[in-house]
Amino acid sequence: MDILNDEFYMDLALNLASKALGQTSVNPVVGCVVVKDGRIIGVGTHLKRGTGHAEVHALNMAGEEAEGATVYVTLEPCSHFGKTPPCCERIIAAKAARVVVACTDPNPLVAGRGLARLREAGIEVKVGVLGERSMKLNEAFNKFITTGLPFVTLKSASTLDGKIAAKTGDSRWVTSPASREAVHMLRHRHMGIMVGIGTVLADDPSLTTRLPVPGIHPVRIVVDSALRMPLGAKLVQDQAAPTVIVTTESSDASQREALEAAGVKVVVCGAGPKVDLTQAMKRLGELEIGSVLLEAGGTLSGAMLDAGLVDKMLLFIAPKLIGGANAPVPFQLHGFDKMSEAIEIEELDVQRYGSDICLSGYPANRRRIPLGNRLT
């Protein structure tokens, strides 16, 4: 079978996987296609943590025809018992002749063991077909499974002159409806959404996902050093999604008790006066929040960038000029003395959303702290 056919079917498997982004919790998204005699006889996608993996769905569809077939899967089949049985054994039992894998699994519980098991069973294995696409698709999983830390995506919306609101504070709306719908899709695809208390006090947001087809609501995370969260805020009163407040030891104990009594989880990170953001990311990882969409104002966004805690940036820019020397800006960084010290954005990409453009890339100073596998 030539490389064109392998890439053709792997492309289909990756497209299937991408449709499940946001549905699988801290698990990766995986797609699988089973092919025999030039026909697709089974397709599958991992849809929810704790349920059947993509290979199982695809092989169930293929049935007895899977014997002698080629299995295309976007991530190395698992070889261990977790919440579901190992996929390797399911492939072996189906008597597949060949398995084509996009990339190996970074999970230390798998990490090449699945490929070895398939080869031991006499199955031909090929690895690396569209592997970079697969790694990018699961970039949040890859970080979480190897570090225990959430993958943080910073999103901002600004005018051409770099303002996120007018000098009066008015920010409705900076960007187009198409951009705002794209942002709600981002909420659907992230496990948590994080803002600072300033955003809550100014806007009283719901931080839910609003799409034409109902989406998944992320956990709402508020960085609130002094615990100024009003008990009447929407994030406290509505039950659309859990709310987590990250605060400090110096915050008011009685307010903490009142918020917890109202159903809010309060997490203490640092003595104060500011939240220890590095510790906060570790605590969110321990809560199995594997990806975070940072939709904060300039202060928190700048602090996260300064700390090297932002993995990816999505900058929506509208073709508008608002002016105002004191109008809010997306990032309040501590500032560098030389241009050579500036945070550079790598792997830059550009997309259009209505009249807006979106720049995406990865800050060169992002941290990668190996903390070991925390997923059980």
The catalytic position among 7, 55, 65, 139 is: 55
Report the distance separating Cα 228 and Cα 200, nearest Å: 10
**Predicted pLDDT at 85:** 80
Query: Is the domain covering 149-363 a CATH 3.40.430.10 domain?
Result: yes
In tens, the pLDDT along 89-99 reads 999 999 999 99
154 contacts 301 by C-beta, under 8 angstroms: yes
- Comparing 23 with 4, the larger pLDDT belongs to 23
Residue numbers in the known binding site for Zn(2+) are: 53, 78, 87
The dihedrals phi and psi of 223, each to the nearest 5 degrees, come to -85, 115
Binding site, annotated residues for substrate? 171, 187, 203, 207, 210, 295
Lowest-pLDDT choice from 71-75, 141-145, 169-173, 242-246:
169-173
Catalytic residue check, 55 = yes
CA distances from 52 to 44, 78, 89, 110 (A): 10, 12, 13, 17
Query: Can you tell me the mean pLDDT for 142-154?
Result: 96
Tens digit of each residue's pLDDT (9 = 90 or more) over 173-186 = 999 999 999 999 99
* pLDDT of 1 above 50: no
Q: Which residue ranges make up each domain of the chain?
A: 6-141, 149-363
User: Which residues are CB-neighbours of 22 under 8 A, at least 6 positions away?
Assistant: 188, 189, 190, 215, 216
Q: pLDDT band at 289, cuts 50/70/90?
A: very high
Cα–Cα distance measured from residue 94 to residue 62, given in angstroms and rounded to the nearest whole number: 9
pTM of the model as a whole? 0.92
C-alpha pair distances (Å), 228 with each of 56, 201, 259 = 49, 8, 11
Q: Is the dihedral of CA 208, 314, 136, 194 positive or negative?
A: negative
Which of the following CATH numbers is that of domain 6-141: 3.40.140.10, 3.40.640.10, 2.60.120.380, 3.55.50.30?
A: 3.40.140.10
pLDDT band at 309 (very low <50, low <70, confident <90, very high): very high
Each residue's pLDDT tens digit, 183-235: 999 999 999 999 999 999 999 999 999 999 899 999 999 999 999 999 999 99
Decide if pLDDT at 371 tops 50: no
Annotated binding site: 53, 78, 87, 157, 171, 173, 187, 199, 203, 207, 210, 225, 295, 297-303
Quickly state the pLDDT bin for 334 (edges 50, 70, 90). Answer: confident
pLDDT for position 47? 94
Q: What does the pLDDT read at residue 272? A: 86
Bind-site residues for NADP(+)? 157, 173, 199, 225, 297-303
| H or E segment to which residue 351 belongs | strand 345-353
For residue 304, give the nearest of 365, 350, 374, 244 by alpha carbon.
365
